[in-house]
Amino acid sequence: MKKGFGSYQNKAVFLDRDGVINRERGEYTFKIEDFEIMPGVIEGLKKLKGFNYKLIIITNQAGISRGLYTREEMNSCHQFFNDQAQGIIDAIYYCPWHPTKSRSIARKPEKLMFERAIHQYEIDPSKSYMIGDKDRDLLPAKKLGITTCGITNEFDYADIVVGNFEQFVEKILKS
């Protein structure tokens, strides 16, 4: 018999990639030399890990289906980041599909990537957070009962709004 969300005990921080972990460039980021890690992110992730949060990146990577870059190039950026973060990222879920190429239920604002992570890591959504820089990042988390945090913008689906990742970490650790 499958477990439901109610029996899961782990807590997690779900993170959008572009605009949260690395600087949003206004174009696809798939080269290591363009992958500029935002200030305070690695230090903040280490603090969260010290409080036993699972750290899970959830990202749309539509440039793959558009033929602009390969999965291998994207994976190189992810490996670079996880190396910089000393391997503390538990998982990275990505959707390679662009809406003009495929209507994927994995692509945010749908919730499939979140549901996969919740089941794989036995995460309790009520003890977890999602941080993103767009409403489409937050909507699936909101639907699943995850506390949502918008970074640097106004949001319809944010429970919390912060100016940067360091403020996000402070708010979580105080609650």
Tell me whether residue 69 is annotated as binding: no
Residue type, 94: Y
Tell me whether residue 16 is annotated as binding: yes
Q: Which residues contact 137 (CB under 8 A, 6 or more apart)?
A: 16, 58, 108, 109, 130, 131
Distances (CA, A) of 33 to 37, 77, 84: 11, 9, 13
Tokens of 20: 């949260």
Tell me whether residue 159 is annotated as binding: no
Tell me whether residue 158 is annotated as binding: no
Tell me whether residue 62 is annotated as binding: yes
Residue type, 95: C
Assess whether 159 carries a catalytic annotation. no
Tell me whether residue 43 is annotated as binding: no
Set 18, 90, 135, 137: catalytic member = 18
Distances (CA, A) of 118 to 11, 20, 37: 9, 21, 26
Assess whether 16 carries a catalytic annotation. yes
Set 16, 90, 135, 137: catalytic member = 16
142 vs 41: CA distance, rounded Å: 23
Tell me whether residue 17 is annotated as binding: yes
Tell me whether residue 28 is annotated as binding: yes
Name the binding residues: 16-18, 24-28, 59-62, 95, 107-108, 133-134
Name the binding residues for Zn(2+): 95
Please list the active-site residues: 16, 18
Name the binding residues for substrate: 16-18, 24-28, 59-62, 107-108, 134
